Structure 1
Amino acid sequence: MTIRKSVTLAAILVTLTVAAALILVAQAGNLRLEQRLTQEAASGRSLVWNQSLERLFEHMNTGMVDFERDFALRQALKSGDAQAARQAVESLINLVSEQGYFDQLIVLKLDGERLYGDEASAVSSHVQALVTAAAADNRPKHGLGLNAQGEPVALLAFRLLVRHEPIGTVVFQRSLSTVLERFKAIQDAEVYLVSAEGSLFAGTRPDLFEQLGLTWPALGRIDRQTRSIDTATYTATLLPLPGVDGQPLAHLVSVADATAAHLEQRRFELIAYTGVALLLILASLGLFYYMRHALRPLHTAVVTVSALAEGDLNVSFETGRQDEVGTLMRALQGMAERLRHIIGHLHVASGDLHDSASNMVRLAEHSKIQFDRQKAETGHVDNAVTHLANAAQQVADHTSRAVDATSDARRRIEHSRQILDQTTQIIEALAHEIDQAAEVVLSLADRSQSVGNVLGVIREIAGQTNLLALNASIEAARAGEHGRGFAVVADEVRQLAQRTQRSIEEIETLIGALRSSSSAAVEVIHANRDRARQSVDHYGQAVQNLDAFAESVAILTDMTHQIAGAAEEQSRMAEEIAVAINQIAALAQDHAEAAESGFGRGAQLNDLSKLLHEQVAYFRIN
């Protein structure tokens, strides 16, 4: 609902509320006036009725004197002669019948037995109550009561006395028609006596009573009712009519012609309603003018704010008014300027953010490629180190077998030494040369600080072993049958040396740092091998070289032990290298995952920067 509709509705509701309040106040005033008029009318009618009733009782009291002075009646009552008493009463009735003191007469003995009275003059409860009251103090009592037919009548009861002694009671019953006529004459209104159920006892205009159709409240309540018959309006006032016992016994209904007063009231109500209608019209016109004057800027503000919501930040608001609407316009203008300032900065920031996000994505992608490459190369190194460890283990196994073979050869050489003493000098010379080669290899082993140095030592030892195996094979061939077993061992050692060289060649492409040291060791071994060949050529006799061969076997045994130790060291270092490479691989994997995550977050940031740029581009700024 728009503000215009809300304000209009609120104004209409307020106006209607005020009108309803005025109507309610008027109705409440009418109700209070009606109640006051009802009370006043009831008080006035009660006063008139009581005065009229007192006039009737005074007239009835006048007739009481004739009965109190009648000697014949008193004597008849005193003697108890009923016949004489009835005759005396009839004589009195003939004398006073024209005076209108009563309509019906009842004469009672002291014991309550009726001496005179027809069936219509039966003793009702109200008559009995009045007689009892009169007998209590021997004073006359009067009041209203119901007769034997249940109709309200005026009652007067008095005692007949002889020398202040009661001898009987006389009761006058008089119709209330004279009171009704007097009441009508004074009040200029129709009057009725009605029972509690609405039955008409007596009235001045019975036909009008039937047309009114009055509703009857509880007996004893005062009520005021208005009825319309054709063009005439009547006001009926209902009063309780108390009896001799103080309890209401009928309704006294006074009906007055209130047509003129009703027309006056209708005219007043018409004037009031016309005033309310004029008030509504004036309020509506004032509301229309106010809405047109006050809400037009709001409509302009709505249009401007709608343009602002559509992204046009170049709008401006009218800020010239000095009321609440002007305050709202100035606040909206400040908001628009602040929004233009913020969106302008957001334009620049979103562009920078987009560039940074793009660079971050490129860097993350490059890091991911590098880490993937490092991971692959680490895998290759791990495989090579694994092959190196396996080769070292095989060298250790074959070296153990070589130790066994050299031990057997030493036993055989010791056995043959006694026969081949002549070969001692050549063997010693050969041992001296091999010892020099061993010292070179040992010095190279001491300098080894990495796996490359160990491989150089292994390569040197393998070359020397191959040379020694070759020399041993030559010497074994010269030894003939005695050197056959040694030749087999030398051949196995040579094969092991060759396999070691092949393993070294497989990994020397990965560990280039070992190549220089290995080359130096190979050169020394080759030099020793050349010298050994020269010694073999120079000392062609196997007998002369046997001692040297024995020494060579001893040296070979030591070298075999050294090779075994070097192989074990190589295996241990290979394991350490494998552990280090595994750690490097784990770190590379973590870095690759981090790079992958960074790439994903960079892509997400790039998408968000694009979305922010698109959202900011929605606003239009000069």
Structure 2
Amino acid sequence: MKKSISKKITRIVILIVFFSIALLGSINFYASYKQTLKAAGIELTGCANITTGIINAEELFKLTKDDSSVTPSVNEQLNWTVDHKPIFSTHYILSLDGKVLASDQHLKDIGLEIGSQVALPKEALTHLMQGHTYYTSLYVVNGEERQTGYAPLFKDHNPKNEVIAINAIDFDGQVIRERTWETNKGTLVVTVLLPIIAAFITFVLVKKMIQPIRFIQKQVENVANGDLTHPPLKIETNDELQALAQGVNTMVQSLKTLINEINQTGTTTTNNAQELSASAEVAHQAIQTMNTNINQTSDLILNQTNLTQQADQHLNQISTHLNQMDKTIQHSNEMAIHSYEHAQSGQKIVDQTLKQMQAIHENTGQVNDIIHSLNYKSREISQVISIITRISSQTNLLALNASIEAARAQEHGRGFLVVAEEIRELSVQTKEATQQVSTLINEIQLESKKSVEQATNSQKLVDEGITFINETNQAFNQIANTAQNTANQSKQLTNETKEIKAKMRILVEEVHHVSQLAHQVNETSQQTGQVSAEQIRVMDEFVLVSRNLSIIADQLKQSIQQFQIK
């Protein structure tokens, strides 16, 4: 189901107006609520300040001193406030720390009683201690919304004295909401009615404005159905709709002219297409005959080309084999030269190795002699150590005897006793040192013996290495001679192969030239055949197009006959 433009525009206008008014109404309601809350707070603080006078100053002072005997009297005084002004819900007195000292009979309705603790805001206490009133915003006490106004209670009701208690009066939160609703009721009603009125006015105006569009739509539908006999549109709105109507009129007139021209052109096209089709069929038969002759000539040339290409391929294969043979011979020659060079290098290395082995042989002999000499010296040192050990033992014995004699001499031999003791200690230390040196010399002699054995074995291995190097030197001489002979033979074979390659290259070029000529002739023949085949294909398409053109011309005449222009 299609929706009219007027309904769509009306819906959009309703949404815009409703959103705007709803936004303004919400802002207005919130501002009114804040003003009502402020007015209620001022009213609460004013009443709390005024009603301080109904409380007996002496009883109030006793009440702050926890004298409960005056509580019933003060409670009765507080009942007066709500009884005479029912808009208030509760009247009670707080201590400076938030404790309920006295209250009217309505305090129990919110779940509080005398002695209960009330959460007193710090900001409120600060204002009250400075002698100012204070009111709160809405807050919840046991599920009930409240607003409280506070006024300071001075000693003897004299503002010059200190604050001894707090006078508190509550508003029910529902009263504030009802006041706000009463204030904004009219505005909310207008908020609901105004979009409806705006929608009705918009619908009427839009429907009147789009009436010309219906006329234009009807004219376009007539053109779509092939009816061009209707009179031009007459719309005078001096806006885009008038321009659109003029454009539709121009389109209809242009369409009439186009249909007349197509009708005339279709008849001429049909006649020309029939003549063109007949001529194309004659040309098609002639081209087919020429194409048959060209194909026969192309087959003969193709056979000749194939034979020439086969000969060219065989010669190329022979030339390739010769090139490979030449590369192989050159590679063999290079390998032989490299072998000869490597053999000479190896021979030089062997000579150097032989010299180094001989030097190692001489050094090994010298090392062997040094180790023998070291072993001999170690034995001599061992003998000296034995002598030192015996001397140390004898010295120790003499020191012991001297100590005994010094002990016999008592006071006269005390100095000699000290010297004898020092000599004995030196003897002991000398003995220990000689034992350590003896141990080290034994280890040196053992290692020297092993070194002599290793040096002897190394000298034998060096002798064997010299023998092997001499044999290797002879083998390198034989390899060098053989490699030189191989290089000379490879060089001679390379020269002969180059002469054969030169002659074969000339023969290959001549056969390849003949093959290229035959290939060019074959390509020319094939191109001619392809051109001929393409001409046949084009003529087939041309015949088909001419026939289709005739059919299309007839269909075009039938199509434009559905338009009524007279």
TM-score interval for Structure 1 and Structure 2 normalised by the shorter chain: 0.3 to 0.5
Q: For the pair shown, which has the larger CA radius of gyration, 1 or 2?
A: 1
Structure in which a larger fraction of residues adopt strand: 1
Structure in which a larger fraction of residues adopt helix: 2
Q: Compare relative contact order (CA 8 Å, sep 6+) and give the higher one, 1 or 2.
A: 2
TM-score calculated relative to the size of structure 2: 0.42
